[in-house]
Structure 1
């Protein structure tokens, strides 16, 4: 059975950040227990989060398997209807539950 952190991510999320720095993140994310899939938006090129594994280490730490299969750790703020993170380039990215 998935832990409570994973269950809180499960579902479909839509990116609300329009900043150019967030272009490398998918327009839509779908999380299942332990895995995710990113879907590009219209005209969007390669996405950094394409498909792979993820885990919430705690309520503020998300580890994602990226397009290069590297496991990258992000500090996140997770609420029932949205989550946001700041990447290593200081880009703030927000997703809302679809």
Structure 2
């Protein structure tokens, strides 16, 4: 298994999905080049499943994130210069747009 920190992830992303299933995911995500990430809820103190932890691209099209309970979960993703689309195990599609 190849572990990488794809530089295209690095930066801040703002959630644009409004579907009910996406509510548990942060309003903003920041990926750092060192393999750490931080999620920010819409309202301070509100629960978010992706709070902070580690990230890596474990294989093509698969993003591994350590989540709120410290487990590492794997998600499908698509990424281009301005949009990150993540799909969870239940089929919920969460879309983010690049802020910087």
Structure 1 and Structure 2 fold alike (TM over 0.5): yes
**C-alpha distance in 2, partners of 1:54/1:8?**
13
CA positional deviation for 1:43:
7.2
- Tell me, which stretches of 5 or more residues in structure 1 are unaligned? none
**C-alpha distance in 2, partners of 1:59/1:79?**
14
Match of 2:7 in 1: 7
CA positional deviation for 1:85:
1.6
**C-alpha distance in 2, partners of 1:58/1:89?**
20
Structure 1 residue 17 corresponds to structure 2 residue 17: yes
Match of 1:67 in 2: 68
Range 3-12 or range 46-55, more displaced: 3-12
For the residue of structure 1 that corresponds to 2:21, the secondary structure is: helix
User: Do the aligned partners of residues 44 and 90 (structure 1) sit closer, same or farther apart at CA in structure 2, a change above 3 Å counting?
Assistant: farther
**C-alpha distance in 1, partners of 2:44/2:23?**
10
Higher helix share: 1
- Name the count of aligned residue pairs: 96
Match of 1:38 in 2: 39
Match of 2:51 in 1: 50
Higher relative contact order (CA 8 A, sep 6+): 2
CA positional deviation for 1:36:
0.2
User: Do the aligned partners of residues 12 and 58 (structure 1) sit closer, same or farther apart at CA in structure 2, a change above 3 Å counting?
Assistant: same
Match of 2:82 in 1: 81
